[in-house]
Amino acid sequence: MTSATANIVDTIEVRQMSATIGAMISGVDLGAELSDATVAVLRQALLDWKVIFFRDQDITTEQHLAFGRRFGELEVHPFAPGKPGYPEVLAISHDADGPGYENLWHSDVTWRLQPSLGSVLRNVESPDVGGDTLFADMYAAYDGLPQRVRDRVDGLVARHDFAGFRRGLQRRGATDEEIAEFNATYPNPEHPVIRTHPETGRKAIYVNAGFTQEIIGIDPEESRELLDLLYRQAAFPEYQVRFRWENNSVAFWDNRSCQHYAVSDYWPNVRKAERVTIIGDTPYFDDSKTPTEPTEYPFRGAILRHGRD
């Protein structure tokens, strides 16, 4: 490492924001050309904290795209509106005529065969009050499950679908032929219910209320019960961090290890954000992989006091 690079890395501060999830990063200008050493620090912070936040990033769309590309290839979302002229930038805009609908726990684009590694969201216009986003640690949620539930769900596989987007397309007048073409282009993937993170080796709950339809190969009633139980884990505050946006705040989250929920409490006010989404790999479950992080958390006893075994 050159001394110039070392100096750059030395100025980065990573401040923990809750027990296991969320860190505020300072000392990085996302609009600058980042050194490999800085990108490595941010990547490690993302792996450790699942979502990292930045304030006061008055960056251009090109700089936003360039930052995302340091972590992988970016996708073009086939259903959600993009920013005109920038197909890889999702325009997440809500106002009196279009209330927010991202208020359900999910990991981005799990209806893809290769879902997302991570998403980088920049807030462009924040309401004075409300519009926070919550993030939940899916490693901690998995670790907090009773052993008998972990034993049951390890190795199971679930089907995912873009059902909400399909309904939106139908509402906007898409024909049966158009829907059939989307169905053929984006066939339902089957992903592990518990995913082994490809970089940390840790196990995370990888079903979500947004896109998962059913667990394959088990009784439908048990599938519903297990999915309900797994979805409920994201709702425990002990696994969460809540982020209050300001204009030019940026959140970069790891879709492989956390889920998020955008609180839709600001209607009829305006909230505008822009997101780039980094393509990930094919999810897998590998029980033999040795995790690189500890799996014990101080709040686990508190979870157990909610009456579960």
Active site residues: 106, 108, 260, 275
Q: Minimum distance from CB of 200 to ligand SIN (Å)?
A: 22
Answer yes or no whether residue 133 interacts with ligand SIN by CB under 6 A. Answer: yes
Answer yes or no whether residue 125 interacts with ligand SIN by CB under 6 A. Answer: no
Toward ligand SIN, which CB reaches closer, 59 or 109?
A: 109
Q: Minimum distance from CB of 46 to ligand SIN (Å)?
A: 16
Answer yes or no whether residue 92 interacts with ligand SIN by CB under 6 A. Answer: yes
Answer yes or no whether residue 64 interacts with ligand SIN by CB under 6 A. Answer: no
- Contact pattern from residue 274 through residue 303 relative to ligand SIN, giving x for each residue in contact according to CB under 6 A and a dash for the rest: -x----------------------------
Answer yes or no whether residue 121 interacts with ligand SIN by CB under 6 A. Answer: yes
Binding residue (CB under 6 A) for ligand SIN from 12, 39, 95, 102: 102
For residue 230, give the H/E element and its range.
Answer: helix 220-233
Give me 302's structure tokens: 């508190």
Q: In whole angstroms, what is the distance from residue 290 CA to residue 249 CA?
A: 35
Neighbours of 227 (CB within 10 A): 20
Answer yes or no whether residue 262 interacts with ligand SIN by CB under 6 A. Answer: yes
Give me 79's structure tokens: 């259903």
Residues near ligand SIN (CB under 6 A), total: 10
Toward ligand SIN, which CB reaches closer, 20 or 249?
A: 249
Q: Minimum distance from CB of 120 to ligand SIN (Å)?
A: 10
Helices and strands of the chain, counted as H and E runs? 9, 16
Cβ atoms of residues 74 and 90 within 8 Å: no
CA within 13 Å, CB half, 244:
4
The pair phi, psi for residue 96, each rounded to 5°, is: -55, -35
Spell out a b/e string for 186-216, using b for 16 or more CB atoms within 10 Å of the CB, else e.
Answer: beebbbbbbbbbeebebbbbbbbbbbbebbe
**What residues make contact with ligand SIN under the rule CB under 6 A?**
92, 102, 108, 119, 121, 133, 260, 262, 273, 275
